[in-house]
């Protein structure tokens, strides 16, 4: 598709690439859920062609409202656009879709367009500063003009940020004092998302916005049980949760949410496996399940079970979910990834490099989304060969980068898991094992092995693994 002249050019053309702009617009129209891949990178005014800027702005506006965008939908919004009419009207929009590149190239194309826009901004500012310097003005006027241009150039590099990223010490200190005043007045910390587990929140202060949190464990230790409990706790308060279930399809994961919601101490409740298999469900329990489904229907909790996502794709889908939640009057406050070793990084040369790319991508996504991102991680088998099977940072499977990138690293340990599978050498040893098992059968140890902004240590939670319920010890049944 050749370059289409849409407006007169300056005598000395500034850097631009019309084909790249056309390809990007075509791609986000062809792949309707791809707009979040570029929304945080690129602003409408960074397009060279005004028509392209208006099309891009409308796509972001409609998509941000959770609406489906297609060439036909766009046509109704540009019926009176004179520039579009001059280049073919709806046929031009259709040709943009024909110029679409592969989905994987969308972020790189956006980076190219932004880079060209930055170069144009620098060239214009340089010319204006040169002209200002050549004029005979007094020193104060010249310095004022120079300061304005420097500020403009700085915004070129920070202009696509979704949140403020540059602070003076005075600004940062004032923000801290305001937050302290709010907290002392009993206002919840806006920078933290509370988990609903008092002992965990006491040690962490809640998970902070922008934090990348890794929860690691061997299989069957309770990673998904804890993750779903956290999701329920947060969503039940009206805070939005995106749960990325890369390992289990939604129909297999959902019984865990339901069993946790209908569980009551001292009352026979169905396990999540009972719900999954449709067995041993009493009529009264079925009514409780129906009531739970109706109650949770209004909760801002969305499950995404597409497998094999990259970090960029996961971030893009999180932005789509955020738009959907915003349209319903909520917001996105927590992302959970179950689990990180089911993600992919196309082009990585090894599994270690792949996990390094994924971990870095998730850490960056947490900051760009400005929410806590909890990623579950499998640990390597070295744990099984030790007498003390409590995990350490060295057990993070195939990637030291996960430990490096994470703001918080927590491990889960259940002694009951190993006691259930052990066998004593004689009757006395086996009796002792069963006694130990009885004491710790509902114990889930959370080991905070790394916390950038707080202490490390362990807490003991109460867990019913069959019901998928995790509670503080103070709330546990007697």
Phi, psi of 23 (to 5 degrees): -65, -40
pLDDT digits (tens, 9 = 90+) for 88-123: 777 788 888 887 878 888 888 888 988 898 888 888
CA distance 356 to 351: 8
Comparing C-alpha atoms, which of 343, 276, 349, 331 is closest to residue 307?
A: 343
Asked if 332 and 318 count as a contact pair (C-beta separation under 8 A), the reply is yes
| Model confidence band, residue 229 (pLDDT cutoffs 50, 70, 90) | very high
- Using CA atoms, how far apart are residues 369 and 347, in angstroms rounded to an integer? 25
**365-404: string of b/e by CB count within 10 Å (b at 16+)?**
bbbbbebbbbbbbbbeeebeeeeebebbeebbbbbebbbe
User: CB of 401 within 8 A of CB of 356?
Assistant: yes
Q: Output DSSP code: residue 380.
A: P
- pLDDT exceeds 60 at position 162: no
Strand pairing of 212-217 and 408-413?
parallel
* SS3 assignment for 263-312: CCCCCCCCCHHHHHHCCCCCHHHHHHHHHHHHHHCCCCEEEECCCCCCHH
Q: How confident is the model at residue 211 (pLDDT cuts 50, 70, 90)?
A: very high
Contact between 312 and 321 under an 8 Å Cβ cutoff? The reply is no
For residue 164, the model assigns a pLDDT of 57
The tens digit of pLDDT for each residue in 254-269 reads 888 888 888 887 777 7
CATH superfamily of this structure's domain 18-158: DNAb Helicase; Chain A (1.10.860.10)
For domain 193-475, give the CATH number.
Answer: 3.40.50.300
Predicted confidence band of residue 160 (pLDDT cuts 50, 70, 90): very low
Domain boundaries, the chain: 18-158, 193-475
User: How many Å apart are CA 66 and CA 325, to the nearest integer?
Assistant: 9
Host H or E run for residue 182: helix 169-184
pTM of this prediction?
0.69
Evaluate whether 64 touches 102 at the Cβ level (below 8 Å).
no
- Dihedral, CA atoms, 19, 22, 24, 25, nearest 10 degrees? 170
Residues 6+ apart with CB under 8 A from 99: 1, 19, 22, 23, 26
Q: Report the pLDDT value the prediction gives residue 403, as an integer from 0 to 100.
A: 78
pLDDT tens-digit series, residues 338-374? 888 888 887 777 777 888 888 888 998 898 888 999 9
Is the per-residue pLDDT at 305 higher than 80?
yes
Least confident of 101-115, 424-438, 464-478: 424-438
Average pLDDT over the chain reads 80
Question: How is 208-236 classified by DSSP, letter by letter?
Answer: ETT-EEEEEE-TTSSHHHHHHHHHHHHHH
Q: Does residue 50 contact residue 84 with C-beta atoms inside 8 Å?
A: no
Q: For residue 66, how far is the Cα from the chain centroid?
A: 18
Distances (CA, A) of 28 to 16, 135, 137, 308, 310: 20, 46, 48, 21, 18
């Amino acid at each position: 598709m050749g370059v289409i002249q849409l407006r007169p050019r300056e005598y000395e053309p500034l850097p631009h690439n019309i084909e790249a702009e056309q390809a990007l617009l075509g791609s986000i129209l062809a792949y309707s859920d791809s707009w979040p891949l570029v929304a945080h990178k690129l602003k409408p005014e960074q397009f060279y062609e005004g028509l392209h800027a208006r099309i891009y702005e409308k796509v972001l506006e409609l998509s941000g409202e959770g609406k489906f965008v297609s060439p036909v939908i766009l046509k109704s919004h540009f019926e009176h656009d004179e520039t579009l009419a001059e280049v073919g009207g709806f046929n031009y929009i259709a040709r943009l879709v024909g110029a679409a590149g592969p989905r994987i190239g969308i972020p790189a194309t956006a980076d190219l367009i932004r880079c060209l826009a930055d170069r144009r901004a620098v060239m214009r500012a340089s010319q204006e500063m040169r002209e200002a310097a050549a004029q005979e003005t007094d020193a104060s006027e010249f310095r004022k003009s120079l300061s304005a241009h420097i500020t403009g150039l700085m915004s070129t590099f920070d202009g696509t940020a979704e949140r403020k990223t540059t602070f003076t010490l005075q600004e940062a200190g004032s923000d801290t004092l305001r937050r302290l005043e709010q907290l002392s007045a009993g206002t919840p910390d806006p920078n933290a998302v509370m988990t609903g587990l008092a002992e965990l929140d006491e040690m962490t202060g809640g998970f902070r916005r922008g934090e990348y949190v890794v929860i690691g464990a061997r299989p069957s230790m309770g990673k998904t049980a804890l993750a779903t409990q956290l999701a329920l706790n947060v969503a039940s308060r009206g805070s939005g949760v995106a749960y990325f279930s890369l390992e289990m399809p939604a129909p297999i994961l959902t019984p865990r949410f339901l069993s946790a919601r209908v569980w009551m101490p001292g009352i026979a409740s169905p396990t999540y496996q009972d719900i999954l298999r449709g067995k041993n469900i009493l009529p009264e329990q079925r009514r409780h399940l129906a009531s739970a489904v109706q109650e949770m229907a209004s909760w801002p909790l969305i499950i995404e079970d597409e497998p094999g996502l990259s970090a960029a794709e996961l971030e893009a889908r999180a932005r789509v979910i955020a738009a959907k939640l915003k349209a319903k009057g909520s917001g996105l406050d927590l992302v959970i990834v179950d689990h990180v070793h089911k993600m992919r990084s196309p082009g990585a040369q090894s599994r270690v490099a792949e996990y390094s790319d994924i971990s870095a991508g998730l850490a960056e996504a947490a900051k760009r989304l400005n929410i806590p991102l909890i990623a579950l991680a499998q640990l390597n088998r070295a744990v099984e060969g030790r007498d003390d099977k409590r995990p350490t940072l060295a057990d993070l499977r195939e990637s030291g980068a996960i430990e490096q990138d994470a703001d918080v690293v927590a491990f889960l340990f259940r002694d009951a898991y190993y006691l259930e599978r052990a066998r004593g050498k004689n009757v006395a040893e086996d009796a002792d094992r069963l006694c130990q098992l009885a004491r710790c059968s509902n114990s889930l140890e959370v080991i905070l092995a790394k916390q950038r902004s707080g202490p490390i240590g362990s807490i003991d939670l109460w867990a019913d693994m069959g019901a998928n319920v995790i509670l503080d010890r103070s709330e546990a049944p007697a």
